[in-house]
């Protein structure tokens, strides 16, 4: 903010001193005090009540928004994840389709975001729900990592860039790798747990399918599907939600 001085400090040098032509030679020249006004302090700067630190903190209405969209996101995500009951390959397809579908939810979510931390909270809450339903603790790590990166992308676009929103969602969606990471460093325990829950045939098929190469390819597909879902969400925003006054 540009602060406008209450008075003008631009006094000419000769105005502060008597002219030597008119001064009494016996009387020494006395400098005239020059008063420079100081801009009035306001409460709108960084340290004021409406400064950047206060304005960027999450308010109750922001937390309500987080709760609503986290619930929407998780219902879609978990719903497509239920396809995993039909087999490991179908589970992988469900992950990709869920990422695609949630692009619409995320696009609408971003229209409500103007402060950092909201996407991060969505990831943490979603990953906590995953852990509480029996998934690996590594879900929390990937959720924190990729949501933090998504926050940086959104901030780079000042929370108003459609392109940043699409890329941020693509990055954000990569947190889905978390539940499956123990397969590669706690292999026997992970497969034993799947075998206990879903049966030996299912566990064997999972072990065969989810090689490191397949996992890498799956994450690429998740990123691309998420970006496509984000673009679809942006199109729907312009065509339906903005017109209806929702976004």
- 122-162: pLDDT as tens digits: 999 999 999 998 899 999 999 999 999 999 999 999 988 99
User: Residue 122: what pLDDT?
Assistant: 96
Q: Is the pLDDT of residue 4 over 90?
A: no
Q: Could you tell me the two tokens for 44?
A: 């709108």
Burial class (CB in 10 A: 0-12, 13-18, 19+), 233: buried
CB 47 within 8 A of CB 3: no
Give CA–CA dist 104/235, Å, rounded: 9
Give CA–CA dist 234/215, Å, rounded: 28
CB 66 within 8 A of CB 121: yes
| Mean pLDDT along residues 181-203 | 93
Sequence-separated (6 or more) residues with CB below 8 Å from residue 123: 143, 144, 146, 147, 150, 172, 175
Q: Could you tell me the two tokens for 240?
A: 């339906």
CB 17 within 8 A of CB 29: yes
CB 166 within 8 A of CB 223: no
Q: Is the pLDDT of residue 82 over 50?
A: yes
């Amino acid at each position: 903010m540009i602060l406008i001085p209450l008075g003008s400090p631009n006094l000419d040098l000769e105005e502060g001193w008597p002219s030597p032509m008119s001064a009494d030679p016996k009387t020494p020249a006395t400098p005239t005090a020059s008063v420079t006004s100081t801009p009035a302090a306001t409460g709108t700067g960084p340290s004021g009540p409406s400064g950047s630190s206060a304005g960027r903190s999450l308010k109750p209405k922001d937390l309500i928004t987080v709760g609503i969209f986290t619930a929407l996101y998780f219902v879609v995500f978990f719903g497509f994840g239920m396809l995993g009951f039909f087999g490991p390959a179908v589970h992988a397809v469900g992950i990709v389709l869920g990422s695609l579908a949630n692009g619409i939810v995320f696009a609408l979510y971003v229209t409500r975001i103007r402060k950092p931390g909201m996407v991060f909270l969505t990831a943490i809450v979603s990953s906590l729900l995953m852990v509480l339903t029996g998934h690996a603790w590594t879900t929390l790590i990937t959720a924190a990592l990729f949501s933090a990166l998504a926050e940086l992308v959104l901030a780079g676009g000042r929370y108003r860039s459609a392109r940043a929103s699409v890329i941020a969602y693509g990055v954000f969606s990569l947190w889905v790798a978390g539940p499956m990471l123990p397969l590669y460093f706690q292999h026997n325990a992970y497969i034993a747990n799947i075998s206990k829950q879903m049966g030996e045939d299912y566990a064997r098929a999972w072990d065969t399918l989810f090689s490191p190469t397949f996992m890498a390819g799956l994450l690429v597909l998740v990123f691309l599907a998420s970006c496509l879902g984000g673009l679809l969400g942006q199109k729907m925003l312009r065509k339906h939600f903005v017109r209806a006054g929702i976004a």
